[in-house]
Amino acid sequence: MKIHKEGYQTIIISTVIVAVIIVLTMLLIMPAYPLVGWILVMGIIGLLIFILSFFRIPARTHSEGDELIVAPCDGTVVVMEEVEADEYFKDRRLQLSIFMSPLNVHVNRNPVSGEVQYSQYHKGKYLVAWHPKSSTENERHSVVYKSGNKELLVKQIAGALAKRIVNYLKPGDKVQLGAEMGFIKFGSRVDLLLPLDTKMEVKLNQKVKGGVTVLAKW
């Protein structure tokens, strides 16, 4: 398992803060209240372990296939419905939304191989990720991929805790299925807008793994 580069600064700052708190606890609290001191030390170490795990990149074998659309992130499928596209597309699309909890791996991956047609950041609100309006009103970054003669749109959407979206793609980039496309810090969701004739391979409330779970087929 590796640590994602987006976490280096956060981990360094967190480690320094944790070290200072532990030293102060041992000097000021433990002599008089040893039990309270040890509880505080264990709690702060647990928080640091959580931060480390948030930026983890587990070793995985990714799915492969030109006809496959794989999960761009870890999480739970919370929406599967037909919607009127509100960005880039002018037609109706199938929306599939994946909710990412703070415990999920937060690397975002390309759901298909192909060429990036569109990449746009949008400022916005920080509604909870499962709010129906989070797809259109929250901070988000949208990417359109073209694979063969098909196109799909992926939205990285910020939530109440996630206030930093990272995306590495720009129009014209040639990308591979399963390769990194970005990162969302501390929980959020990812939406996919797919053609209506896409064959879905997952169900509502299903747990999925980024780069591994096949969401649909062209």
How far is the C-alpha of 63 from the C-alpha of 80, rounded, in Å?
22
Whether 113 sits among the annotated catalytic residues: the reply is: no
Give the pLDDT score at 124: 72
In 3D, which of 142, 105, 140, 155 has the Cα closest to residue 4?
105
Q: At 166, is the secondary structure helix, strand, or coil?
A: strand
DSSP secondary-structure letter at 68? E
φ/ψ of 103, rounded to 5, equals -85, -10
Distances (CA, A) of 98 to 15, 115, 160: 31, 23, 16
Q: Which of 97, 134, 142, 188 is catalytic?
A: 188
For residue 128, the SS3 value is coil
What is d(CA 207, CA 124) in angstroms, rounded to the nearest whole number? 28
DSSP three-state, residue 76: strand
Q: What pLDDT score was predicted for residue 26?
A: 95
Closest-CA residue to 130 (of 75, 87, 57, 185): 75
pTM: 0.86
Q: What is the pLDDT along the chain (218 residues), one digit of tens a residue?
A: 789 998 899 999 999 999 999 999 999 999 999 999 999 999 999 999 988 988 999 889 999 998 999 999 999 999 999 999 989 999 999 999 999 988 899 899 999 999 999 999 998 766 665 555 556 667 899 999 999 999 999 999 987 665 678 999 999 999 999 999 999 887 689 999 999 999 999 999 999 999 999 999 98
- The phi and psi torsions of 132 (rounded to 5 degrees) equal -55, -30
Counted residue by residue, the chain has a size of 218
CA–CA dist 53, 167 (Å, integer): 21
What confidence score (pLDDT) does residue 131 get?
Answer: 57
